[in-house]
Amino acid sequence: MSVNSNSEPSRYDQKLELILRTSARIFAEKSFHSTTMRDISRATGVSLAGLYHYCKSKEELLFLIQDHCFGRVLERLEQRLSASSDPIEKLRIFIDNHLSFFAANMAEMKVLSHEADSLGGDLHAHVSNKKRQYTRRARKILSELQHTAPAATAARPARRNGRRRVTDSRRMDLTVATYALFGMMNWIYNWYDPGGKLSVTQLVDNITQLFLAGFLAREEAAFALAGPGMAEKISVWRTA
């Protein structure tokens, strides 16, 4: 995790980055509660007294990991989104930004997920606020997609005489869609190997493809794709 967004991080920042990166790895391995400052001192080679020069407590370390992650991801996202006005491209940028950052910071990703409630008070409120801001950004892109997709479809006369492919994508619940997207992306810390044969680009392509086609298509497309006979099976979708 890069702590400083400038190209020339100070020695202080470099050392802090080493401490945060190592702490994240240990928190991910043995949980925040089971980790001691002594563990972090041993793993970083920074004395206990030295560690307290960078943070007041173990809790502050956890806060800095979470705060810097969300901060960096948000900052990179806004930079990249500023060049785009197309909602599909925005979604692609969002997914690419999230996955490429966290594929390089898998321990941090696990810590963000598992230790979200290990912070209390103001520290928790501060991180929650950034997380809400980030979630709202994703939801806004999806909302834009829902509102532009039907118009785009209507603009294709060749399709209008056939069965409509998109009738009303607004029926997809935005809350479910937003968290389904985060679920697909954030689950990677459980299975993805950044050094394995599936590149981050391939991961991004597959996730974008899966989510975007599903979000825009709706059940009508799924039935159409499934071939004849599926129309009668529509009850399958409604059984509790």
In angstroms, give the least distance from the CB of 96 to a second copy.
7
For a second copy, the closer of residues 72 and 110 by Cβ is 110
Nearer to a second copy, 50 or 183 (CB): 183
Cα angle value 132/64/179 (rounded, 5°): 25
Q: Is-contact 129 120, C-beta < 8 A?
A: no
**Least separation in angstroms between CB 45 and a second copy:** 26
Least distance between a second copy and beta carbon 213 (Å): 4
Give the separation between CA 157 and CA 154, rounded to whole angstroms.
7
Of 14 and 202, which has the nearer Cβ to a second copy?
Answer: 202
Q: How many CB atoms lie within 10 A of CB 90?
A: 21
- By CB atoms closer than 10 A (0-12, 13-18, 19+), residue 64 is buried
Q: How far is the CB of 179 from a second copy (least distance, A)?
A: 5
Identity of the residue, 61 or 145, whose beta carbon is nearer to a second copy in the bound complex: 145
How open is the CA angle 73-141-96, to the nearest 5 degrees?
40
